[in-house]
Each structure stands twice: as structure tokens, then as C-alpha cells.
Amino acid sequence: MANETPTFREGSLEAPTRHALDWKNPAFYDQDAIDNELHRVFDICHTCRRCVSLCQAFPTLFDLVDESSTMEVDGVATSDYAKVVEQCYLCDLCYQTKCPYVPPHPWNVDFPHLMLRAKAAANKRGETRLGSKILSDTTTVGAIATIPLVVNVVNATNRSKPARKILDRTLGVHPDARLPTFDSRTARRRLKHLDDGASNATPAGRTRGKVALFVTCYCNSSHPQSVEDLAAVFRHNGIAVKLIEREVCCGMPKFELGDLDSVAKYKETNIPVLAAAVRDGWDITAAIPSCVLMFRQELPLMFPDDDDVLLVRRSIFDPFEYLWQRHQAKLLKTQFMNALGKVAWHAPCHQRVQNIGPKTRDVLALVPGTEVTAIERCSGHDGTYGVKTATYAIARKIAKPVENRIQQAAPDHFASDCPMAASHLAHGMGDKYAAESPISLLRYAYGI
């Protein structure tokens, strides 16, 4: 029988798979190898172009190609590849929702992790800016900024036009970007006496009815009310709640810089504590989708042979994913005191790529007298991207279609599961609609 010629399909109907990150291998940081792979993948992207609307990385690439002498990737200077890399904030949407050439397709395109590899190599060479290092050190910044008395100085500085000009020159923070307001009454301080109530836990489906909260840096220091509301809603539904005994940053801000050594250090602090909680019978949740994604996807790809990392991956949930699991088992209370009216709900990228479906929408829609408009498009904030001088104008441009959708909905409430995205969007709309948390809306609906 004659050998059959292998055929290549245009795209794939199979579920995408992800290869582990070989970040401990010195070859991972070889710039010549990276440039060769960038050329290969950029050429595939150029001939496809279906991701052009996702972020600025793709328009940047296509403009470089179209303005080159050959109008092909071979006409783009290798030194310009970095212009594409710096526009990628690792939202993962191209991989999860658009690209038809991700593995198991033989072309094996993983655009986000190729951008990560290029960022990691640049970081290894010491090219990461000092301002980016400071802004991504969220644990330290939050700890200092929430010290009583210091917090007032920090918040006043962030509101001062002269001080913002200094931040622009020193840290590269755009003077018009909205910065978080810090709160000395952090989430961990507010909930330090939380009684877990574990003795009455009822398992259901994948959930065990006992949840340990990973508070997150941002929510702990700048959005503590959402953590309080999360604990109140879970306890109202008979779910035992406690705080993780100690935590540092999940690592996502450093991951987005390509600082994988710092990510590994954070992992060594967080994972043993989280894994111990899981072995004691607790599930894990976090109030920010990026943190859940870090433990659910990125750390397992960095440490695929670490049993504790894999244990945490199996046991961490998005808050509304957890509540929906309880609802399916008829354990979620559906006696609500207050209708929510029209809700414009923004689905953050790092929640969408977890492939859990729009569970926030589904849970909020259980409230009588509530109509939820789902907006599944990037907010443009994307960690520090939306506050940096170099990218703020682009972040505002990316946010505009979402802001238009919100205003067209004329909602009674506007909310996003990512508080940073919500704040960024509200700022762009001149605060016509206040940024709210979906879990806070649910607490209000319950009247608790």
C-alpha cells in the first residue's frame, strides 16, 4: 500500500492542549531561537489575521508587515519584534477563543506563551524597567500603602496633579490613569476573626462546602469590601469560610513581565499553604479571576510535575462557578429581597479563558427583576498596561467599545468580576456608572 501524503487541516475541532513551559532550560532564553520562532509564528498570524480585534499586539504586527518593503514578515526588522511583544499582556484570548492553529494542530501556535518567552529572555538580560518592577511588586506596595497614616499620604499623592507628574517621570505612570485607593482596614484585618463554621459543611458535586479564601493583593489593600461580601454570601448559603493563613501575590503581575524567578518564589510561599488547606478538606477561591487563572493554569504549566500545584489546580474555583455548582445541587438560596434591575456585566478576559462559562451572569439572573447584559470584550486595563504612560492611550482605545456597550445598555448597575477593569471602565465613562462588584450586587440582592 502506497504511503499516504500527510494532510494539514485548516484549523481544528479538537480541544486545545497546552504544552508545559520549559522555563528552567537555558535554551528557553536563547534569543536567536526566540527570534526564529517569532518569525515562524508571526508569518502564520500575518496570513490569518483573525485576531486583529483582540489587542494591540496584532495591529502592531500587521502594520509592521504592511509597511515593510516586502509586505511580508521577512521584510520586518528582527529588532522590531519587541514592539509586538511589549503590546501583549497575556490575556490568552487569542489562544482560547480565536486561533485555529493551537496544538494539537501541527503548526503548534501558542502566541501568548511565545510572547512570555520573549519577555522572560528580556527580563533575564536586565531589560525590565524599574517602574515596572515596582508596580508589579503588589505585596510590598500594598503592605506599605495600607499602614495607618501612610495610607492617607499615598492616597493624597495619587490624587495630586503635581505628584502624578513625578510618578510619570519616575515610574512611567500616566497622569490621567486611575490608581487604586488604598484602605488601612484591609480585608485580612476585617476578617481576621472569621469563624469558619466548618462543622456544618455539606458537600455537593465537585464542591465540599468549605472554602478557604485567597484574599489577593488588590482586594486586600484596595477592594476589601468585595472580600467581605464574598464571605457573607458564601456563609449565607451554608458554605464554611476561612482565610488562607498567609499569602503573597499569586505571581500574575510578575508573570506578565516575564519575571519567572519571582513567580517561582511566590509559588514556594503560597502553594504549601494552599495545598495543606485542600488536604484538610477545603476548597479554594479568590476574588480576582487573574489569581484563579494563575493557580489553575499558569503555575501548573510552569510546574507540571509538582503534586501540590496540581492539587491546588483541581481545588480552586471562581466564586460564581462555585455558587453555580451549589445551585445545581439545590443548595443555593434563591430567596432574594432586592431586585437588581438592568445589570451591565463585563466578563474579564482572565475569567473567560478559564472555560467555565458565564457563571456570574447565570447566578445574577436568578434574582427576580434582574436583566443581565453580558459584555465579553477586553477592558484594556490588563494589570499595569492600563496605567503606564507608554500604553495608557491604547488602553483607553481598547476600552472604548466596552464603555459604549455599557452606556447603550443604560443599566441600573455596572459590574465586572475584575475590580481593576471595572474601575478603568468607569473612569473612561466619567463615572456616570459606578464600578461595582458582582458579589456585592448578590449580597445586596439577598439583603444581608
CATH topology of domain 334-446: Rossmann fold (3.40.50)
Domain boundaries, the chain: 26-124, 187-324, 334-446
Q: What pLDDT, on the 0 to 100 scale, is given for residue 80?
A: 95
- Residue 194 confidence (pLDDT): 83
> Considering only CA atoms, which of 404, 403, 381 is closest in space to residue 394?
381
The pLDDT assigned to 7 comes to 52
Per-residue pLDDT at 41: 96
User: Residue 17: its pLDDT value, please?
Assistant: 87
Per-residue pLDDT tens listing for the chain (448 residues):
445 545 555 556 677 889 999 999 999 999 999 999 999 999 999 999 999 888 899 999 999 999 999 999 999 999 999 999 999 999 998 998 888 899 999 999 999 999 999 999 999 999 999 888 988 888 888 889 999 989 999 999 999 999 999 999 999 999 999 999 999 999 999 998 887 666 688 999 899 999 999 999 999 999 999 999 999 999 999 999 999 999 999 999 999 999 999 999 999 999 999 999 999 999 999 999 999 999 999 999 999 999 999 999 999 999 999 999 999 999 999 999 999 999 999 999 999 999 899 999 999 999 999 999 999 999 988 888 999 999 999 999 999 999 999 999 999 999 999 999 999 999 999 999 999 999 999 999 999 9
Region class of 355: left (phi > 0), else alpha (psi between -120 and 50), else beta: left
Phi/psi for 24 (5° steps) reads -85, -10
Cα(154)–Cα(260) distance, integer angstroms: 29
**Residue 109 in grid coordinates:** 501556535
pLDDT value of residue 272: 97
The pairs formed by 84-88 with CB atoms below 8 angstroms and a separation of 24 or more are 84/38, 84/42, 84/57, 84/60, 84/115, 85/38, 85/57, 85/115, 85/118, 85/119, 85/122, 86/390, 87/55, 87/56, 87/57, 87/60, 87/391, 87/394, 88/55, 88/57, 88/112, 88/115
pLDDT, position 96: 86
pLDDT of residue 138: 87
State residue 16's pLDDT score.
Answer: 81
